Amino acid sequence: MTGFIRSLGFVVLLALVTACGNSVTPLRETKIVDGLSITLDTPDRAKMNTAVDFVVLLTDAQGNPVNDANVYLDLDMPEMPMGVTRPVALPDGPGRYWTRTAYTMEGWWEITVVVERAETTYRATFRRDVLQ
């Protein structure tokens, strides 16, 4: 029984060390489009075929959170056109929208954040490098 508990403890410790070692540094970038501040948070140097969280933060020209928008992302790889992936970002707090998807190839990707608000559409494009 003691051997089993030690083995179980080792497995738990290994899982914790592995989880801490795989933390990703967030990459935050902001663009202003017609007075709307669009910030994209993603992991820096994400890996392909791994779930990636995308967080979009929206504020108006006065710095107030924008809560009344429809937000989605257009993910495209210009050097290797494969069609666009288009995840919808859901509201996740004041001025915060969240979605999750995966990159399917390594290389440079363009993420266009599309914000539809009232009768206006805003677009901000960000580039990310994805590892294998």
Please write the tens of the pLDDT for every residue from 85-130. Answer: 899 999 999 999 999 999 988 989 999 999 999 999 999 999 998 8
State how far the Cα of 102 lies from the Cα of 92, in Å rounded to an integer. Answer: 19
Q: Which CATH fold topology does 25-130 show?
A: Immunoglobulin-like (2.60.40)
Hey, which residues does 130 pair with through a beta bridge?
A: 107
pLDDT at 11: 36
Whose tokens are 């998807």? That residue is: 101
Q: What is the model's pTM?
A: 0.78
Tens digits of per-residue pLDDT, 28-79? 999 999 999 999 999 887 888 999 999 999 999 999 999 999 999 999 998 8
CA gap 47, 132 in Å, rounded: 6
